[in-house]
Amino acid sequence: MFKQKTPLPFLYWVITGIFVLLFIYLLVKLFPIYRVILAFLWHLFAPFIIAGLIAYLLYPIVKKINSYHIPKGLAILLIYLVFFGSSGYAIYRIYPAMIHQLSDLQAQLPQLIQMYQDLVYQLYEYTSFLPEVVHDKMDHLIAGMETRVENLVGKAVNGFTKVFDMIVFLTVIPVLVFYFLKDFTRIKDYIKKWIPVKYHRDGSDLCAKIDKSLGDYIRGQLIVCFFVFLATYIAFQLLHIKYALLLAIIMGLTNIIPYFGPIIGAVPAVAITLTVSAKLIIFVLIAVFVIQLIESNLLSPYIVGKSIAIHPIAIIFALLLGGELGGVIGMIVAVPVLTILKVVVSHVMAIRMMKQQR
């Protein structure tokens, strides 16, 4: 009377899931081996990747201007000058102040660590009833945190003060962006030649879906992150928080990471404020909370919208995996990669369903 469902599809998905988990496990375990290769490839291709991303984000604006019967070359030149002119001015104004604050933070680090040690001793007094093993663990944890903070600040200062590398990097990117914008259509046509003709239609549909989901997400996130940076900077300046510019940049950048980003960004602000005034922490937390409330309830729903439409559990898993593989950078790229995979899988499944119906 009832047709018994075959267990093969279920078995197929179980085996696929096992292989995916094994692949992820191997990626994590073998990461130290291919880390050097990835670092070399990143240094080599980073200008091309960043320039390609900038061109990808700017091209719709160029296309829109071109639709008003303005020549494409003039539209590219206009957007090019506006974008890099404003970016260059922002770097000119922000970069020296950021270097100064980083250097000052590195110089003040011993005093900050001493203040934290005093706070730890007070914490010991409040937790004197706990076993000695717990105190030993706390010592080990705090010592590890001190070493990591010193290394992180040192790397940041050294990285930002490599003037020659930065000049080369910032000189190459504008040139690449110009050629990417100028030859955007030709690059697409060239890539199309390498795809078999029978896949052209499906490939175009897939690229359009990826562009819709990924493009809207990235553009929206950049606008939201800029708001978080600006609002945080204004709030911290009003509260007279030390290193306000540096902390605001951290808050803006980490806000790209869903769920965990605001927490990661707030930790340095709270840690630095703790050394100044315990009462001031309350105002810092209120400011961060209000900014995140506006961002999550007003800006993100309207600017970013439902561009990714992925379940939070899947996003959190992708963030944890990205953090395990690539740290903060891995967490930043985790959601865009997941978005692309989701669109690809949905597209492939839709094609298979259409073929089965035929």
Q: Do the domain assignments include residue 163?
A: yes
Q: Do the domain assignments include residue 153?
A: yes
The answer to whether the beta carbons of residues 101 and 245 sit under 8 Å apart is: yes
Q: Please, what sign has the CA dihedral across residues 90, 92, 97, 103?
A: positive
Q: Do the domain assignments include residue 143?
A: yes
Residues 21-32 have pLDDT tens digits of: 787 777 767 766
DSSP string of 239-292, one letter each residue: TT-TTHHHHHHHHHHHTTSTTTHHHHHHHHHHHHHHTT-HHHHHHHHHHHHHHH
The answer to whether the beta carbons of residues 162 and 43 sit under 8 Å apart is: no
Nearest residue to 307 (alpha-carbon basis) of 231, 169, 215: 215
Q: Do the domain assignments include residue 146?
A: yes
Q: Do the domain assignments include residue 144?
A: yes
Neighbours of 231 (CB within 10 A): 20
Nearest residue to 211 (alpha-carbon basis) of 344, 354, 311: 344
Nearest residue to 145 (alpha-carbon basis) of 170, 120, 128, 181: 120
Give the tokens for residue 303: 């600017």
Q: Do the domain assignments include residue 244?
A: no
pLDDT band per the 50, 70, 90 thresholds, residue 2:
very low
Residues 291-328 have pLDDT tens digits of: 888 887 777 777 665 556 677 778 888 888 887 777 77
Torsion angle (degrees, nearest 10) of CA 324, 330, 332, 338: -90
pLDDT band per the 50, 70, 90 thresholds, residue 234:
very high
% pLDDT > 70, the chain: 73
Is the pTM of the predicted complex or chain greater than 0.95? no
Residues 118-137 have pLDDT tens digits of: 666 666 565 665 566 655 66
Domain, as residue range, for 70: 49-194
Q: Do the domain assignments include residue 17?
A: no
Q: Which amino acid is at 268?
A: P
Q: Do the domain assignments include residue 142?
A: yes
Domain count, the chain: 1
Please give the span between the terminal C-alpha atoms of the chain, in angstroms, as a whole number.
26
The answer to whether the beta carbons of residues 333 and 319 sit under 8 Å apart is: no
